[in-house]
Structure 1
Amino acid sequence: MNSRTSAPVTASRIAVRWAIAAVVVIALLVGGALAANRLLFSPQQQVASLQQYLAAGDGARALGLMQAAVPKGDAVALDGEVLKRTQDGITDFTVDAAVPSDKDPDLRLVTAHYKAAGVDKESTYTLRHTGKNWLFFDTWAFEPSTLPTVKIKANTVNEVNVNEQAIPLKAGTSTLPVFYPAVLDASFSTKNFQADTRGVVVTGVGKQPVQIALKTQPTKEFIASISTKVKKYLDGCATQQVLMPSGCPFAYNTTARVDSSSIKWSIDKYPTIDVSYYNGAWILAPLEVKASVNLVEQDLRTGAKEAKKVTEKFSFTAHLTTSTTEVSVVPVAGGEQAAR
């Protein structure tokens, strides 16, 4: 009976096998390191990390990663809940592969694409290759820069709401340093004045601040308050049983004798209130009132008496003094200021 015997395994063969295994392991490690370098230690990964910090409201880590200087202004949008709210409108954030810069071989440009309040936008970041760790892993750093700013303007009020946060104004303006991308919405509403929400999208650093100019409009309560004060003034004028009520816009001239007890003024149509903002103040447009006077006239020659009703339109103006919650109306009739 024939039997097959195995060739003896020599020490050299064992060494070769171990060497081959070692080479395979090293190749796998190198390949894994290179893959990790492309995925985890790339400039685009730095951009993705930055966006994660912003979405989490972690302004300190975002600022440190960007190596960005903070310009003067109200820093409320650079951290916490307000920062998170500037990112609420940023969706579908993706990052392109890094592109070498023509100016410097160590620089890479990374473009991110996203939707801001549903509109397609993009931002470009510049990063520099700063060396390697453990022979394989590249290190990248954002090129130092200065954060962009948003300048908010509003008249009449001392503060506005920006992304649900009250922001004080100085001389009608406020400047906010912001990260990018960012969506900022500004508005305000007081008893007398309001401004509809206006929003901006900040996509990068610019030479000039991004502007939000809020247009102040009077509220219905403001107009109603002025109307009430004007009506009260005119009603007071109508109580005077004279032909020319003092400090009032209406008057009646006649050469006949008039029994003062027969004089009775009435308002047929009150003025329409129309206000506008001009040269730093709210201006009330000229007012027109339709008034009637009932009286009995006596002819000086014949002594005959006649009951009459005379209706006319009269014009006057009024000065406004306003705040966000109060309004003072000072009518001006016949060159004289009437009582408030």
Structure 2
Amino acid sequence: MSHVATRGELRRPGTVRGALVRAVVLWLCIAALLVAAILSAWSAVARDVYGAGSFARGYLDALADDDAATALALPGVALSSAELADAGLPADSSDALLRSEALGTIEDVRLVSDVTTGSGAHEVTFSYRLAGQPHSTAFSITSGERTFGLFPSWRFETSPLSVVQLTVAHTTGFRANGFELDTRRVAEGTDGAFTSTIPFLTFTPGSVDFDVDTTYLAASVETATTTEIASVVEAEVTASATSDFVSEVQTQIDGYLDNCATQQVLQPTGCPFGMVIRDRVDDLPVWSIASYPVVAVQPGDTGWQMPATAGAAHLVVDVKSLFDGTVSTLDEDVPFTLSAFVTIRDDGSLYIDLR
């Protein structure tokens, strides 16, 4: 006689327990995979969005985007005078170059390494190109309070600022990456100085092309490159007189001498030439310029100058002898020398002080 199992008989305790175990194990595996995925995602976000390397990249991206304000506002970048001195940098450094208009070009920024030091800080190294040349810089970054209680915040343990010790010779005006500056406005004690040396804060990494390019003065480009944080590099921009400068001084001096030649006296007033005659002048003297001084403009100790330069005036005048009353014509060149100090006024005009 056959027997058909009932539903209750099919669901024996051992069978039910095994199914439950398998279900629990399955859900635990799913939960473990989910937790692992969450932890992996969190780790990736913490590394790529909130990591030390991401923090340093944000700084470099700001420089690459010519956004000096954002770079300077990052924690640990800006320094007070006291902090500059503690970092071994000149406390009186000018911040005139910490602006977007004076930033150079940074390209091809890449993370090279992110190493945790024994103190828990991160040494993050990036490679990049400045003015087409490859360089790299290591940044020291330390963690601060966590964002949302989960992700770390960061700050530069050592500020990525450096100093360019710039000597500006024979002028007060110059350019930094095309941005016009004047020593009298960026540093105290330089007013009227013909040559000044000024420490300028600059972002690291950075490349600054210094030059002078005006109507009367020019200087070839001097490039200062900073790739090591808290470093001091030296640069010098030396201005020289342009052909327009020399030509303008020549024109003004020629005009001055021509005006002297219009005075029909033996000793023209305020002029570098004249004649002393013991006999009696029988007619009005007639002056002309036989040869003009050839102007050369060169830097002196305190300003631009034309050194003593020879020229010659020509005098024609009738003279009556006091001895026998005879009249003769004096017709001869009268040599002279002329020097000058030249000042470029703030409005761009020249002031020539003749000597």
Identify the range of structure 1 (231-240 vs 157-166) with the bigger mean alpha-carbon deviation. Answer: 157-166
| C-alpha RMSD of the superposition | 4.1
- For residues 292 and 192 of structure 1, the distance between their equivalents in structure 2, rounded to whole angstroms, comes to 32
Deviations 1:219-259 (A, max 9, x none): 44543343233223322332344555455434557787764
Cα deviation for residue 76 of structure 1 reads 4.8
Return the match for 1:25 from 34, 54, 63: 34
Identify the range of structure 1 (300-309 vs 228-237) with the bigger mean alpha-carbon deviation. Answer: 300-309
Aligned residue in 2 for 1:249? 272
Q: 1:194 and 1:273, CA in 2 relative to 1: closer, same or farther beyond 3 A?
A: same
- For residues 172 and 323 of structure 2, the distance between their equivalents in structure 1, rounded to whole angstroms, comes to 67
Give the TM-score normalised by the residue count of structure 1: 0.73
Cα deviation for residue 97 of structure 1 reads 1.2
Aligned residue in 1 for 2:259? 236
Identify the range of structure 1 (275-284 vs 29-38) with the bigger mean alpha-carbon deviation. Answer: 29-38
- For residues 20 and 330 of structure 1, the distance between their equivalents in structure 2, rounded to whole angstroms, comes to 94
Return the match for 2:74 from 64, 74, 78: 64
- For residues 296 and 68 of structure 1, the distance between their equivalents in structure 2, rounded to whole angstroms, comes to 80
- For residues 36 and 221 of structure 1, the distance between their equivalents in structure 2, rounded to whole angstroms, comes to 61
Partner AA of 2:202 in structure 1:
V
Return the match for 1:214 from 237, 254, 259: 237
Aligned residue in 1 for 2:311? 289
Q: Kindly indicate whether residue 144 of structure 2 is the aligned counterpart of residue 120 of structure 1.
A: no
Cα deviation for residue 145 of structure 1 reads 3.4
Aligned residue in 1 for 2:84? none
Return the match for 1:150 from 164, 168, 171: 164
Identity of aligned residues (%): 22
8 Å CA contact retained: 1:127, 1:142: yes
Return the match for 2:205 from 162, 181, 186: 181
Q: 1:326 and 1:67, CA in 2 relative to 1: closer, same or farther beyond 3 A?
A: closer
Cα deviation for residue 139 of structure 1 reads 6.0
Deviations 1:142-189 (A, max 9, x none): 314373233544366655443454442441555543322223334455
Count the aligned residue pairs.
Answer: 319
Aligned residue in 2 for 1:86? 103
Partner AA of 1:14 in structure 2:
A
8 Å CA contact retained: 1:100, 1:108: yes
8 Å CA contact retained: 1:44, 1:96: no
Partner AA of 1:110 in structure 2:
V
Q: Which runs of 5+ in 1 are unaligned?
A: 1-6, 333-340
Aligned residue in 2 for 1:47? 56
- For residues 160 and 287 of structure 1, the distance between their equivalents in structure 2, rounded to whole angstroms, comes to 30
- SS state of the match for residue 178, structure 1? strand
Return the match for 1:110 from 124, 138, 153: 124
Aligned residue in 2 for 1:337? none
Aligned residue in 2 for 1:14? 23
8 Å CA contact retained: 2:126, 2:137: yes
Q: Kindly indicate whether residue 286 of structure 2 is the aligned counterpart of residue 264 of structure 1.
A: yes
Identify the range of structure 1 (10-19 vs 189-198) with the bigger mean alpha-carbon deviation. Answer: 189-198
- For residues 318 and 13 of structure 1, the distance between their equivalents in structure 2, rounded to whole angstroms, comes to 104
- For residues 328 and 284 of structure 1, the distance between their equivalents in structure 2, rounded to whole angstroms, comes to 13
Cα deviation for residue 109 of structure 1 reads 1.9
Q: Which runs of 5+ in 2 are unaligned?
A: 1-10, 82-91
- For residues 119 and 342 of structure 2, the distance between their equivalents in structure 1, rounded to whole angstroms, comes to 65
8 Å CA contact retained: 1:67, 1:143: no
Deviations 1:103-137 (A, max 9, x none): x3423322221111122222211123569889996
8 Å CA contact retained: 2:74, 2:155: no
- For residues 48 and 159 of structure 1, the distance between their equivalents in structure 2, rounded to whole angstroms, comes to 34
Cα deviation for residue 301 of structure 1 reads 7.9
Give the TM-score normalised by the residue count of structure 2: 0.70
Aligned residue in 2 for 1:338? none
Cα deviation for residue 207 of structure 1 reads 5.4
Aligned residue in 1 for 2:89? none
8 Å CA contact retained: 2:163, 2:231: no
